[in-house]
């Protein structure tokens, strides 16, 4: 349902409110990111520890721009694999919106 609304809005040239992006980003995050980055973004999962995932609360990640996070997610960075072939640009952007909500907690 949410994906359908997002695509309908995009087709009409509308933008979705930030809350909707974060909500759809939460689903993508849980499916593709949480296994390494943990539910809270701490990177404290076994896979995250093995990959040395940087916590989203890290000052470097807090001050990183959305464009930098987008590039790292799409193309990979360090031990993080590229997700450009697995996620659409919209899914990556929505995930970043959700990550920003984790950084505020």
Torsion of the alpha carbons at 18, 20, 24 and 26, rounded to the nearest 10: 60
How confident is the model at residue 65, as a pLDDT? 97
The whole-angstrom separation of Cα 81 and Cα 17 is 29
Q: Helix 2-11 crosses helix 89-103 at what angle (to 10 degrees)?
A: 120
**Listed range (1-15, 28-42, 74-88, 91-105) with the worst mean pLDDT:** 1-15
Contact in structure between 67 and 9 (CB atoms under 8 Å): no
Q: How confident is the model at residue 28 (pLDDT cuts 50, 70, 90)?
A: very high
Neighbours of 81 (CB within 10 A): 14
- Report the distance separating Cα 57 and Cα 78, nearest Å: 18
The answer to whether 85 and 74 have CB atoms below 8 angstroms apart is no
**Segment 6-29 mean pLDDT:** 60
What is the domain class of 2-103 according to CATH? Answer: mainly alpha
What H or E segment, with its residue span, contains residue 20? helix 18-32
* Strand intervals (E) in 15-104: none
Q: What is the pLDDT of residue 79?
A: 92
């Amino acid at each position: 349902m949410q994906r359908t609304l997002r695509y309908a809005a995009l087709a009409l040239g509308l933008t979705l409110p930030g809350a909707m992006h974060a909500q759809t980003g939460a689903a993508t995050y849980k499916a593709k990111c949480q296994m390494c980055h943990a539910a809270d973004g701490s990177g404290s999962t076994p896979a995250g520890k093995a990959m040395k995932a940087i916590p989203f609360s890290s000052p470097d990640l807090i001050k990183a721009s959305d464009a930098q996070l987008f590039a790292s997610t799409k193309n990979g960075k360090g031990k993080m694999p590229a997700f450009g072939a697995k996620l659409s640009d919209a899914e990556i952007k929505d995930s970043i919106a959700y990550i920003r909500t984790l950084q505020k907690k």
